[in-house]
Amino acid sequence: MREPRRIATAAAVVLFAAPLTVLVIQAFAEVWRYPALLPQQFGLRGFRVAFAEGDAAAAVSNSLEVALLSTGLAVLIAWPAARSLAATRGRWHGAVLLLLALPLLVPPFATGTGLTEWFIRLGLAGTRAGLVLAHLTVVLPYVLLVLTSAFSPRVVELEEMARSLGTPPLRRLVFVTVPSVRAVLTAAFLLGFLVSWSQYGTSLVVGAGLPMLPLTLLPFIGSDPTVAAALSLMFLVPAILALVLASRATRETL
Amino acid sequence: MAPAVLVTVVLFGGALLGAVKQSVEPSLGGGPSTWNLDSWRTLLASPGFLDALRFSAQLALIASVLAASLAVAVAVALRSHGRLVRSAFSLPVPVPHLLVAVVAFMWLSPGGLAQRALGRLPLRLVHDPLGLGVILVYVYKETPFLVLLLLAVMGSTLREREEAAAVFGASPFRVLIWVVWPVIRRPLLIGTMIVAAFVFGAFEVPLVLGPNYPLTLASYALQAQQKSPLRGQGVAAASLLVAAGMSILIAAAVMRLARTADA
């Protein structure tokens, strides 16, 4: 038991923690002259400038709102599709799956640019509603592919058992279906959220200047690394949260 | 089923249609205009575009092949380990690409942490003409993703079959070729294809780490849009359509390969 633990810790440090430490150091570096390995002076200038000039507050709240809404919508839309894809393997199964997975393969910047053509006319360009729709296009296939693995024959059997016992549909959904697919549902939501949260190309064209976290972050990378690092730390939070939730979910099923 | 298909057809189909329209009628609502192929002609005559196409293909090929080979090696090494070790190796999966690019920039750029620690950098990885930094970011991000796909099929059934083959006197190499490879080939091909298609559309990672020339197709499109907001739209849309078409072509080719390999 001790050996695997040591390998896991070493891997986690080398692959994940060690590279990321530079962000933490840089974010709080007030003065960091070459070639010192550590900053000469620590401080909160990075965060101050991020909120004052970088529009960090608006960027975080826009990114959060768009990610939550687009992922929520994607789960609602993908749910019935995942059910029927898991249950039946008709003639069109492969073709439908391919169609639904296509947006995965096409560069999001291309999808966003194409959507802008219509969104400008519809008054959706530069609005959060437009961004939600654009992100939904990219997020939906990820959510759908994960969710398809949720509806195993066992879940369907449980539902039928509940039905034969006279449980009404809504109670069935809340007390039987959702609890039994909870782990996959969480995974699908996390993945969808992260895909939206990380979107760059779609937000750039469709958002038309609306502050979103990755868009706000990029210009600072070359010009002011301290601000870039501060924004990066905020950008990292959902990924860490996802890891914590995922590790808790695996522990539960153990 | 219906809502998902409807949303995909309307939004994604609409997006492709919008890009096609922009590439042949680049007016952006500025009064009536006629359809023409000027944007496509400009695009195909531009050396910057042809270099971008080559550069994107080169990045996609190198990054996906490297990630796939590394993933096979890591998966084989990890399969006998428990969940703890495996999840440690999958830590980079949820980290956004842009964030990995920022971290790579802070370590590897001139004056960055690596240079401070080592005194000098043995290799140029930021804004280098070969896009090595970009490839590094994608290999770091996509290898764990492929490892997860591979470990999912390398379960106990496979182990039993390997043992059976070994009992009948098959050498480890033959076990690998005849027992392991047929099982991992399909997920590996499909996963690698997704990675290749993804790298082909690379945008924000090369914006941070890539060279100023050649650009990737997506950053070429961005430059075209920024250079001339009106005429550039059509050229940008056309180059993005090429990127989209190439990604779909890669996918179709690999799906076909996976199918014929199965038969």
pLDDT in tens, A178-236: 888 888 898 899 999 999 999 999 999 999 889 999 999 999 998 999 999 999 999 99
Alpha helix (H) residue ranges in chain B: 2-7, 14-24, 38-45, 47-78, 83-89, 97-108, 113-118, 132-153, 156-167, 172-175, 181-200, 204-209, 217-227, 231-262
CATH value at residue A129: 1.10.3720.10
**Does B253 lie at the interface with A, CB-CB under 8 angstroms?**
no
Cβ atoms B197, B251 nearer than 8 A: yes
ipTM of the complex: 0.90
Contact B94 A243 (CB under 8 A): yes
Contact A16 B92 (CB under 8 A): yes
User: Tell me, what's the pLDDT at B31?
Assistant: 55
Cβ atoms B229, B217 nearer than 8 A: no
**Does B105 lie at the interface with A, CB-CB under 8 angstroms?**
yes
Mean pLDDT in residue range B74-96:
87
pLDDT in tens, A100-158: 888 988 999 999 999 999 999 999 999 999 999 999 999 999 999 889 888 888 888 88
Among residues of chain B, what percentage have pLDDT more than 70?
95
Among residues of chain B, what percentage have pLDDT more than 90?
53
Mean pLDDT in residue range A18-27:
92
pLDDT in tens, A35-74: 888 899 999 999 999 999 878 999 999 999 999 999 999 9
Chain B interface, best mutation among A1, A28, A117, by max B CB count within 10 A: A117
Taking CB atoms and an 8 Å cutoff, what residues of chain B touch A12? 88, 91
Q: What are phi and psi of A29, to 5 degrees?
A: -85, 115
Contact A114 B237 (CB under 8 A): yes
| pLDDT surpassing 60 at residue B148 | yes
Mean pLDDT in residue range B174-187:
88
| pLDDT surpassing 90 at residue A18 | no
Q: Does residue B12 or residue B256 have the better pLDDT?
A: B12
Burial of B155 (0-12, 13-18, 19+ CB in 10 A): exposed
Q: Residues of B numbered 19-38 whose beta carbons fall under 8 angstroms of chain A's beta carbons: which are they?
A: 19-22, 28-29
Mean pLDDT in residue range B13-32:
80
Contact A107 B201 (CB under 8 A): yes
Two tokens, residue A155: 């879940």
Q: Does residue B205 or residue B83 have the better pLDDT?
A: B205
Confidence bin at B30 (pLDDT 50/70/90): low
Q: How many Cβ contacts (< 8 angstroms) between chains A and B? A: 226
Question: Is omega for the bond preceding A35 within 30 degrees of 0, making it cis?
Answer: yes
Mean pLDDT in residue range A73-84:
92
Domain for residue A61, yes or no? yes
Cβ atoms B38, B234 nearer than 8 A: yes
Mean pLDDT in residue range B186-215:
92
Looking at chain A, which residue has its C-alpha nearest residue B191? A105
Taking CB atoms and an 8 Å cutoff, what residues of chain A touch B80? none
pLDDT in tens, A222-253: 899 999 999 999 999 988 888 888 777 766 55
| pLDDT surpassing 70 at residue B244 | yes
- Three-state DSSP at B32 gives coil
User: Tell me, what's the pLDDT at B190?
Assistant: 87
Minimum distance, in Å, between the CA of residue A107 and any CA atom of chain B: 4
Q: Which of A100, A104, A114 sits opposite B4 (nearest CB)?
A: A100
| pLDDT surpassing 70 at residue B32 | no
User: Tell me, what's the pLDDT at B89?
Assistant: 86
Domain for residue A5, yes or no? no
Two tokens, residue B142: 């996509």
pLDDT in tens, B228-241: 877 888 999 999 99
Segments forming the whole domain that contains residue A117: 57-215+239-253
CB burial of A193-231 (b: ≥16 within 10 Å; e: otherwise) equals bbbbbbbbbbbbbbbeebbbbbbbbbebbeebbbbbbbb
Domain for residue A230, yes or no? no
Residue A32's alpha-carbon distances to A228, A231, B104, B226, in angstroms, are 14, 18, 18, 34
Long-range interactions of A25-29: CB distance < 8 A, separation 24+:
A25/A229, A26/A225, A26/A226, A26/A228, A26/A229, A26/B106, A27/A226, A27/A229, A27/A230, A27/A232, A27/A233, A29/A226, A29/A229
Confidence bin at B252 (pLDDT 50/70/90): confident
All domains of chain B, ordered by start, with CATH?
A: 36-262 (1.10.3720.10)
Confidence bin at B26 (pLDDT 50/70/90): low
Mean pLDDT in residue range A15-31:
91
Domain for residue A165, yes or no? yes
Q: Please state, as a whole number, how many other Cβ atoms lie within 10 Å of the Cβ of residue A24.
A: 13
Say how many CA atoms lie within 13 Å of B74 toward its Cβ.
26
Two tokens, residue B44: 């195909």
Torsion B6-B4-A135-B188 (CA) sign: negative
Taking CB atoms and an 8 Å cutoff, what residues of chain B touch A239? 94-96, 99
User: Tell me, what's the pLDDT at A194?
Assistant: 94
Chain A interface, best mutation among B43, B102, B186, by max A CB count within 10 A: B102
Write the Ramachandran bin of B123: left for phi over 0, alpha for psi from -120 to 50, otherwise beta: beta
Confidence bin at A254 (pLDDT 50/70/90): very low
- Residues B99 and A24: their CA atoms lie apart, in Å, by 13
Looking at chain B, which residue has its C-alpha nearest residue A221? B102
Chain B interface, best mutation among A24, A111, A143, A234, by max B CB count within 10 A: A111
Q: Count structural domains, chain A.
A: 1
Domain for residue A163, yes or no? yes
Contact A137 B236 (CB under 8 A): no
Out of A157-161, A244-248, B11-15, least confident range: A244-248
| pLDDT surpassing 50 at residue B120 | yes
Contact A194 B194 (CB under 8 A): no
Mean pLDDT of all residues belonging to chain A: 89
| pLDDT surpassing 90 at residue B86 | no
Minimum distance, in Å, between the CA of residue A12 and any CA atom of chain B: 5
Nearest to A62 by CA among A224, A192, A203: A203
User: Tell me, what's the pLDDT at A101?
Assistant: 87
| pLDDT surpassing 60 at residue B171 | yes
Domain for residue A34, yes or no? no
Domain for residue A9, yes or no? no
Contact B208 A218 (CB under 8 A): yes
Minimum distance, in Å, between the CA of residue A230 and any CA atom of chain B: 11
Taking CB atoms and an 8 Å cutoff, what residues of chain B touch A235? 96, 98-99
Q: Which of A107, A112, A242 sits opposite B94 (nearest CB)?
A: A242
Nearest to A116 by CA among B37, B202, B240: B240
**Does B230 lie at the interface with A, CB-CB under 8 angstroms?**
no
Contact A214 B204 (CB under 8 A): yes
Q: What are phi and psi of A30, to 5 degrees?
A: -85, -45
Residue B215's alpha-carbon distances to A92, A201, A220, B54, B234, in angstroms, are 39, 15, 20, 10, 18
Two tokens, residue A58: 């608006």
Looking at chain B, which residue has its C-alpha nearest residue A232? B99
Contact A110 B99 (CB under 8 A): no
Domain for residue A4, yes or no? no
Contact B197 A26 (CB under 8 A): no
Taking CB atoms and an 8 Å cutoff, what residues of chain A touch B140? 15
Q: Does residue A145 or residue B55 have the better pLDDT?
A: B55
Alpha helix (H) residue ranges in chain A: 2-12, 18-27, 45-52, 56-87, 93-105, 108-122, 128-148, 153-164, 169-172, 178-180, 182-198, 201-207, 213-223, 225-253
Contact B4 A34 (CB under 8 A): no
